[in-house]
Amino acid sequence: MKILLLGGGGREHALAWKIAQSEKVEKLFIAPGNAGTSNCGENVAIGVNEFDKLKDFAVENGVDMVVVGPEDPLVKGVYDDFKNDERTKNIPVIGPSKAGAVLEGSKDFAKQFMKDKIISFPRVKGDEMEFYRVLKGESLKKGYMGIEEPCPVKENLIDTDNGIIIVPGVAFDINGNRTGYGKGYYDRYLRKHSHLIKIGAAFSLQVVDSIDADEFDIPLDYIVTENNIYRCR
């Protein structure tokens, strides 16, 4: 695999150092890189915001994956630029789209977006699952199957149909079907909270062509991977 890493700071040096250790990496390019990254791969004299030159380089050198270190090219849309070009649309770009990157790029936007948002985590109770709000400074404790769970404080119990739920899984298909551990905790919870926006979080390798579903399985609305966002319904 040939990888193009964008950036030239300390973060990118650390990324380059680790990526270069993989047996799967045939060649590592760093654009523009620095003195340290030259010991991990080949520095390329292209700026992180020179999208056309980066795409030309990726095509000419058979790059299989682009890893974006700094936030600036993400905020300016490097992910979108690669995806909207026929030549590079199939090259995975590790990083969010321009719309997603604004959360990191604009502190004002991030503060407004997160204002009044409640974050809760699941806890297994018998055959059911409950969600509890986790406040700043609180820690999670290992529970069912060694998974960290919130403490069951009654006043922090969240029971609502208004919100987004991130659903894990072992495998997903583009129709929103999924397989998990087989106990049905999420399906039972989602049956009782049918108006939640259901988003599956996965790596691309977890998305398959088809998964057999039965009448008890609750399909997802979206699946988000490092490469794509699938609208399932």
Same domain, 11 and 85: yes
Residue ending a domain, among 107, 134, 164, is 107
* Same domain flag for 91 and 146: no
pLDDT score of 109: 83
Say whether both 29 and 126 belong to one domain: no
> In terms of domains, do 127 and 103 share one?
no
Average pLDDT over residues 97-119: 83
Q: How many domains does the chain have?
A: 2
Spatial contact of 81 and 97, defined as CB atoms under 8 Å apart: no
Peptide bond into 32 cis (omega under 30): yes
Give yes or no: residues 149 and 191 share one domain. Answer: yes
Highest mean pLDDT among 70-74, 139-143, 211-215 belongs to: 70-74
Question: Is the pLDDT at 229 greater than 80, yes or no?
Answer: yes
Q: What is the CATH number of the domain that holds 196?
A: 3.40.50.10420
pLDDT bracket for residue 228 (50, 70, 90): confident
- What is the structure's pLDDT at 181? 80
How far apart are alpha carbons 93 and 83 in whole angstroms? 8
pLDDT at position 132: 93
Separation CA 4–CA 65 (nearest Å): 6
Tens-place pLDDT, residues 4-55: 999 999 999 999 999 999 999 999 999 999 999 999 999 999 999 999 999 9
pTM: 0.62
Q: Assess whether 55 and 76 both reside in one domain.
A: yes
pLDDT value of residue 57: 98
The answer as to whether 84 is a domain residue is yes
How would you label 5-17 residue by residue, b for 16+ Cβ within 10 Å and e otherwise?
Answer: bbbbeeebbebbe
Residue 218 lies in a domain: yes
- Strand 197-201 and strand 164-167: the pairing is parallel
My answer on whether 176 and 227 are in the same domain is: yes
pLDDT in the model for residue 1: 95
Q: Two tokens at 40?
A: 């991990």
Query: Are residues 88 and 126 both part of a single domain?
Result: no
Average pLDDT over residues 138-142: 81
Kindly tell me if the per-residue pLDDT of 137 is higher than 70: no
Q: Report pLDDT digits (tens) over 166-211.
A: 999 999 999 999 998 878 899 999 999 989 999 999 999 999 999 9
* pLDDT at position 141 over 90: no
* CA 151 distance to own-chain centroid: 26
Percent of the chain with pLDDT over 90: 67
Do 156 and 102 fall into the same domain? Answer: no
CATH of the domain at 69: 3.40.50.20
Residues 167, 95 share a domain: no
Domain of 154 in residue numbering reads as: 120-231
- Residues 217, 133 share a domain: yes
